[in-house]
Amino acid sequence: MALFFTGLNVLWNHQQISYYLLLIIIPLAIVYFIYAIREKKVKDFFLSSALLLVIAAIAVLPAADRLIPTADYSKETMRGGAVLQQTVTGEKTGKSGLDIDYAYQWSYGRLETMTLLIPNFYGASSHYNVGRDSKTYEALKQTGQAEQISKHAPMYWGDQPFTSGPVYMGAIICFLFILGLFVVKGPEKWWLLVATVLSIILSWGKNFMFVNEFLYNYLPLYNKFRAPSMALVMAGVTMVGLAIIALRDIMKTGDKKALIKPLYYSTGITGGICLIFALLGGSLFDFTAASDANYPQWLLAAFVEDRQGMLTGDAWRSLLLIILTAGGLWLYLNDKLKASYLLVLVGLLVLIDMWTVDKRFLNDDHFMPKQVAKAIKPTQNDLLILQDKDPNYRVLNLTTNTFNESTTSYFHKSIGGYSPVKLRRYQDIIDFYLSNRGINMNVLNMLNTKYVIVPAEQGSTVQQNPGALGNAWFVDSLLWVDTPDDEIHALANFNPAKLAVIDKTWKDQVTVDPIVTGDTASIVLTQYTPGKLSYQSQSDKTRVAVFSEVFYKTWRATIDGKEATPIRVNYLLRGLEIPAGKHEVIFECVDELYLKSAKVSIYGSILVGVVLLALIALIIIGFFKKKTA
């Protein structure tokens, strides 16, 4: 089981979730080690742990072709640390990992943790359908926008920038979890409790910096991840786990009467919290968020009323579910309800609880016919740009959130877009020259930005950039700099058509400096595929060419079939020294590390298969031996 499910977890390729699984296992190991010392079974503990570590290592092998290249690539991304010594604002950069403010942006509020028990405690989502019975709909009736705005009302008023919904564990699960703290004995209770508390603390992020700043700085690999609220997936496992164990122990107990007091305590704790917010919730908070400043007072008043109603309504709802579940348990403990009926009752209540809340955030409104989902149509701007017969230009779209959108890439090679593992150097270029501080046309030119979509009085329009330098060009001179900081600052005021800025670490790869001008040289792109680019060059002298492609170590260069060494120029792009004459230059992506790790993955998959077959064979043999005996 450990082999199979550990392998599945890693194969899903979500490293942050796999990391949280490890954080669940660590409390488990510590608690069981303490119990092993108490029971003088330390030897058994280490033998079992060693076996599990071997199983985990085997389980990870099939995913080697993902894990090893990803670990290597991450060093060059935003998660791998800073290239520069100073940020665009002059502040000192961190050593490694994401910037702490960026990493902790989506931190769960401390009081927001109440959504585990009461789903709409903090107003559900930033775009919530409040319905026609809401105060928001009523307030907007006269404006003619009631239907539209009420379907996407900004009900969320918590600490996160925005959210599509709360983390809700279920009122019944919360109740059974608390009950488990009273009725479950042994190590299971303690490691599940510790892991749950750890999950909640991690989810608070910037709202509990006393602990989380320390973890960010010293917990291995933790600063590679963002969105601390995601840590609540740990609680999603541990709280459900203890709830199930609590039910199991209740069914197995020989002294039912002894469990009645714990039942009262857990009902009082969870039900009492719900009752307090049901009765007083509307008067405890102001139900406003920072973003509410954008709305008129009359509309904000409607938002506040709806938010109050959502909190108190869900508090009553959770209280009812807890009472029904506690009632079923009370009947069972007093021999008035059979165990099988109790399980059916609890199962149905949990299903009703989770289903009805889930349908608020994933319902028929969120689905569309397949043909509609695929129909992403080009705009008039797209059609105008697509008239260009040369497809190898780039487009900058300033009418959207440029570096957090993907629609432009449906039709063009985009300067913008979003990736959680964006190359660090590209993000630096964005921060310095393509952000709200202003757009540097020289940088746009070297990125071959031929078209810019800009806002206009009526929608948007397209502007052609005559300065776009194309796919590749020869430069007349080189500027050698000492550090990456010098290199990026040199781009502020330079002519990329004439000058290439190069870090001195590449000096051994360039033989021509200074370069003599007066040569009628040219270089053109002849073939473009995602993994291979071909160029034809012509020059009278040895020259340095700049290619409007991002430099990365897996791209190999050849000149007329002979290997050449590409260099990084202008902080981000590829450069190459090309001898005089007519030549074919080819860049091809060859990831040797991936090819090697793919072999490890194949052998690992075979090993996992052999181990699983051997285990199945042993189970079958044991079954028949037992049957014969």
Q: Give 339-348 contacts, CB < 8 A, sequence gap 24+.
A: 339/251, 343/247, 343/251, 346/172, 346/176, 346/247
pLDDT digits (tens, 9 = 90+) for 435-455: 877 899 999 999 999 999 998
pLDDT of residue 137: 86
3-state secondary structure of 580: coil
pLDDT of residue 58: 87
pLDDT digits (tens, 9 = 90+) for 163-172: 989 999 999 9
Starting from the edge strand earliest in sequence, which strands make up the sheet with 532-539, in order?
Answer: 522-529, 532-539, 581-589, 555-559, 562-564
Q: Is the pLDDT of residue 468 over 90?
A: yes
pLDDT of residue 91: 77
Give 436 or 66, the one with higher predicted confidence. Answer: 66
DSSP letter for each residue of 337-350: S-HHHHHHHHHHHH
Q: How far is CA 73 from CA 66, 216, 391, 486, 554, in A?
A: 11, 21, 28, 24, 10
pLDDT of residue 516: 63
Q: Is the pLDDT of residue 2 over 90?
A: no
pLDDT of residue 86: 83
Query: Strand pairing of 573-578 and 522-529?
Result: unpaired
Mean pLDDT of the chain: 90
pLDDT of residue 371: 63
Place of tokens 């943790």: 113
Average pLDDT (596-618) is 90
pLDDT of residue 443: 95
Worst-scoring range by mean pLDDT, 60-64, 290-294, 314-318, 319-323? 290-294
pLDDT digits (tens, 9 = 90+) for 19-38: 999 999 999 999 999 999 99
pLDDT of residue 545: 94
- DSSP E strands: which ranges in 316-468? 394-397, 413-414, 434-435, 438-439, 449-456, 459-464
Work out the pLDDT band at 515, boundaries 50, 70, 90.
Answer: low
- Report yes or no: 252 and 186 within 8 Å, Cβ to Cβ: no
- Report yes or no: 217 and 97 within 8 Å, Cβ to Cβ: no
pLDDT digits (tens, 9 = 90+) for 563-587: 999 999 999 999 999 999 999 999 9
pLDDT of residue 262: 95
- Other C-beta atoms closer than 10 Å to the C-beta of 592 total 10
The dihedrals phi and psi of 571, each to the nearest 5 degrees, come to 70, -30
Worst-scoring range by mean pLDDT, 42-51, 109-118, 505-514? 505-514
- Report the C-alpha gap between 186 and 197 in whole angstroms: 18
pLDDT digits (tens, 9 = 90+) for 89-140: 777 776 677 788 888 999 999 999 999 999 999 998 888 888 888 888 888 8
Q: Is the pLDDT of residue 201 over 90?
A: yes
pLDDT digits (tens, 9 = 90+) for 381-403: 999 999 998 888 999 999 988 88
Beta-carbon contacts of 351 under 8 Å, excluding residues fewer than 6 positions away, are none
- Report yes or no: 84 and 428 within 8 Å, Cβ to Cβ: yes
Residue among 524, 547, 548, 539 at smallest CA distance from 579: 539
Instruction: Record the pTM.
Output: 0.85
Give 146 or 610, the one with higher predicted confidence. Answer: 610
In the chain, % of residues over pLDDT 90: 61
pLDDT of residue 523: 94
Say if residue 228 is preceded by a cis peptide, omega within 30 of 0.
Answer: no
3-state secondary structure 256-301: HHHHHHHHHHHHHHHHHHHHHHHHHHHHHCCCCCHHHHHCCHHHHH
- Report yes or no: 333 and 263 within 8 Å, Cβ to Cβ: yes
Average pLDDT (189-203) is 96
pLDDT of residue 514: 62
In the chain, % of residues over pLDDT 70: 97
What ranges in 410-478 are assigned the alpha helix state H? 424-433, 441-446
- Report yes or no: 212 and 104 within 8 Å, Cβ to Cβ: yes
pLDDT digits (tens, 9 = 90+) for 259-297: 999 999 999 999 999 999 999 988 899 899 888 888 889
Q: Give the length of the chain.
A: 629
Amino acid present at 581: G
Beta-carbon contacts of 312 under 8 Å, excluding residues fewer than 6 positions away, are 277, 278, 281, 282
Q: Is the pLDDT of residue 70 over 70?
A: yes
